[in-house]
Amino acid sequence: MLNNSTIVDALAGLRSGKFSAVELTQSCLNQIQKHNPKIHAFLTINEQALTQAKQADLSKPLGGIPIAVKDNFLTMGLPTTASSRVLEGYLPPYESTVTQKLRSSGAIIIGKTNMDAWAHGSSTETSDFGTTLNPWNIDYLPGGSSGGSTAAVAADMCLGAIGSETAGSIRQPASWCGVTGFKPTYGRVSRYGVIAMASSTDSPGPITKTIEDAALLLSVIAGHDPHDATSSPNPIPDFKNLKLKNKNLKIAFPKEYLDVIQPEIKSQILAAVKKLEDLGHTVEETSLIHPKYSIGVYTILQRSEVSSNLSRYDGIRFGHDRSYFAEEAKRRIMLGTYALSSGYYDQYYNKAQKVRTLIINDFNQAFNRYDLIINPSSPSTALKVGATENAAMFGEMQDILVEPSSIAGLTGISLPCGFANGLPIGFGLVGPQFSEELVLQVAHQFQENTDYHLKRPTTNIK
C-alpha cells in the first residue's frame, strides 16, 4: 500500500509515474479514516489535501508527499491549538517558517497532530482533546509531546511528520513509537510561528521512518530565518549526503546514563552499542554530570520561560481566556512565575542558568575527546495510559536522559533498536552543536546494518 512507503521511495514512484500524488494522498487518508478514530493521532485533517495533491509539482524536493505537522506550528487555513482549549478553533493569521518551507517544497500538509497541551509533557496524555494511543499497543501511550506525529508515522498515516523538541519531545515519543526522530541543533531550524514553550531550547525537527527521509526533511526545513533572531547564520551542508568518511569514530558511553536505564531495555541498548563497535567504531565508557541535576535545571528554566511565553494568552486579542488553561499548564506557569519572582530569582533561575553553563562545559570537554555520545532517549519502553495521573513532574522526570543535551542546545537522534514486550526501544546519539551530518551518517550506517526501523505495527492496530 502506498502509505507504507518512505518519502524517498514515494518520490521515486511519483516521478517515474508508477502512481499519482492523488493516489498517494488518498492512501494516507484511507489509513487515517481507518485508524485515527482509535489512535487519535490527528486533531485536524486538511480537507484540501486531495485538491493540493492534484496540483502537486513533482519537480519540487517534496512534491506530492503527505506530511503531518504537530499542532503547535501555525498553519494558515488549518486550526492551530497546541492541543489546548485556550486556542480551540484558532485560525492563525500567519504561517510558520517551517510549514511555509514544506509548502514551497511541494509537500501536502495532510493534517495537524495531537500533542501534550502547550507541549507540556512526555506522554500526549495532557492534551485537552484526549490522548493519542500507541499504535504498537493501544493500552499504552505514544510518548510526548510530539506523540501524535510519532504515532501517525508509526501507523503509516503519513510518510513523515514534523515535531518539536524542548527536552525530548521528538526523541522520546520516537523511541516509544519505534520511529526515527531527529532533534537539530538549537537555532538550526526556525522557531518563527511555532507556539513557544521554552524559547531557549525549542527545536523543530523531522520524524520519519528512515534516516534518509529525516535528512531530506531536514534539508528542506533548516536554515537561517530573519524572522527568528535565534536562528543560526551557519551555512547548511548537504544533509542528504549520508556517506560516513571516518569509519573509526570515538564514541562515549556515559555510565550515568546506563544507571538510569530500566533493566528491560538494557540488553538491547548494549546490543546497539556492540553493533557500533562491530561497524568499526570505538566505544568508551565516560563520566558526565549526573542527569538528575539536569531535571532541576530544565524544570526551572523551562517553567520560567513558559510562564513568560504563556502570558500572551489573555483572551483579549485572540483565543479564550486563561480559565481555559488545564491543570498542567497552570502548574508550569505558576512554578515559573515563582522562580522568576523577586526574592527567588537568584536562588532558582540564576542558579539554574549557572548549572546550565556547567553542563555545557561538561559536554565541551567530552567532545574534545569524543566525536559522539551514546544517549538513549528514554529510560524505558512506553508507559500505560493513565501513567501521568497525579504525577507532579512526570514530563521532567521521564526526560532525564535527554534534558542535558537539550539544555546545551546540541543535536541528537532517536532510532529503533529493538523491542521489549512488543514495545519499541529507542537508541540514541548526541553530537556537538552543528554536527547534524555526523549524527545522521552514523545513524544511517546503523540502519543499513539493522532492520528494526522496517518493522511496522500494522498487525496490532485493531
Partner 1 sequence: MDVNSIAKLSNLTLTDSQQKIFAPQFAETLKYVDLINQLDTSNIVPTSQVTGLINVFHDDVIDNTRLLQAPKINRGYYVK
Rounded CA-CA distance 148/304 in Å is: 26
Q: Which residues within the stretch 92-151 sit at the binding site for partner 1 (CB under 8 A)?
A: 92-95, 100
Q: Which is nearer to partner 1, 111 or 395 (CB)?
A: 395
Q: Using the rule CB under 8 A, is 348 a contact of partner 1?
A: yes
Residue span binding partner 1 (CB under 8 A) among the ranges 11-19, 23-31, 211-219, 317-325:
317-325
Q: Which of 78, 333, 430, 438 binds partner 1 (CB under 8 A)?
A: 333
C-alpha–C-alpha distance, residues 458 and 462, integer Å: 9
Q: Pick the catalytic residue: 5, 27, 70, 209?
A: 70
Query: 381: left (phi > 0), else alpha (psi -120 to 50), else beta?
Result: beta
- Residue with smaller CB distance to partner 1, 208 or 411: 411
* Residues in 367-386 at the binding interface with partner 1, rule: CB under 8 A: none
Choices 37-45, 106-114, 206-214, 357-365 (CB under 8 A): range interacting with partner 1: 357-365
- In this structure, the chain runs to a length of 462
Q: What grid cell was written down for 51?
A: 485538491
Q: Which residues contact 430 (CB under 8 A, 6 or more apart)?
A: 372, 373, 374, 375, 405, 410, 411, 412, 439
Binding segment toward partner 1, per CB under 8 A, in 7-15, 64-72, 267-275, 294-302? 294-302
Count of residues of this chain found to bind partner 1 when the rule CB under 8 A is applied: 55
Would residue 169 show up in a list of annotated catalytic residues for this protein?
yes
* Cα-Cα end-to-end distance for the chain: 18
Q: Which of 58, 260, 283, 393 binds partner 1 (CB under 8 A)?
A: 393
Nearest CA among 17, 19, 23, 80 for reference residue 49? 23
Phi-psi group of 157: left, alpha or beta (phi > 0 → left; psi -120 to 50 → alpha; rest → beta): alpha
Q: Which of 169, 175, 232, 405 is catalytic?
A: 169
Interface characters, 418-457, with partner 1 (x: CB under 8 A): ---------------x------------------------
CA distances from 216 to 65, 331, 365, 385 (A): 12, 38, 31, 33
User: Largest alpha-carbon pair distance within the chain?
Assistant: 67
**The C-alpha cell that represents 341 in the structure block:** 519572582
Among 19, 338, 345, 419, indicate the residue that binds partner 1 (CB under 8 A): 338
Is residue 287 annotated as part of the catalytic site, yes or no?
Answer: no
Q: For residue 369, how many other CB atoms are within 10 A of its CB?
A: 10
Residue closest to 98 by CA, chosen among 159, 167, 164, 173:
164
Question: Residue 104 CB, nearest distance to partner 1 (Å)?
Answer: 12
Rounded Cα–Cα distance for residues 396 and 121 (Å): 8
One of 118, 182, 186, 367 touching partner 1 (CB under 8 A): 186
Answer for which of 240, 351, 455, 456 binds partner 1 (CB under 8 A) is 351
Nearer to partner 1, 149 or 203 (CB): 203
Distance CA 293, CA 285 (A): 20
CB of 409 to partner 1, least distance (A): 3
The dihedral sign for the CA sequence 274, 277, 281, 282: positive
From the list 20-28, 209-217, 254-262, 323-331, the region that binds partner 1 by CB under 8 A is: 323-331
Q: Which of 105, 134, 268, 299 binds partner 1 (CB under 8 A)?
A: 299
With binding defined as CB under 8 A, does residue 226 bind partner 1? yes
Return the CA Rg of the chain.
20
Residue with cell 551557519: 234
The verdict on whether 245 is a catalytic residue reads no
Cell of 189: 531550524
Among the listed residues 84, 96, 105, 145, the single catalytic one is 145
How far apart are alpha carbons 234 and 231 in whole angstroms? 9
60 binds partner 1 (CB under 8 A): no
Could you list the active site residues? Answer: 70, 145, 169
Residues in contact with partner 1 by CB under 8 A are: 76, 92-95, 100, 186-187, 200, 226, 229-230, 232-233, 289, 292-293, 295-297, 299-300, 307, 311, 314, 317-318, 322-323, 325, 327, 330-331, 333-335, 337-338, 341, 348, 350-358, 360, 392-393, 408-409, 433
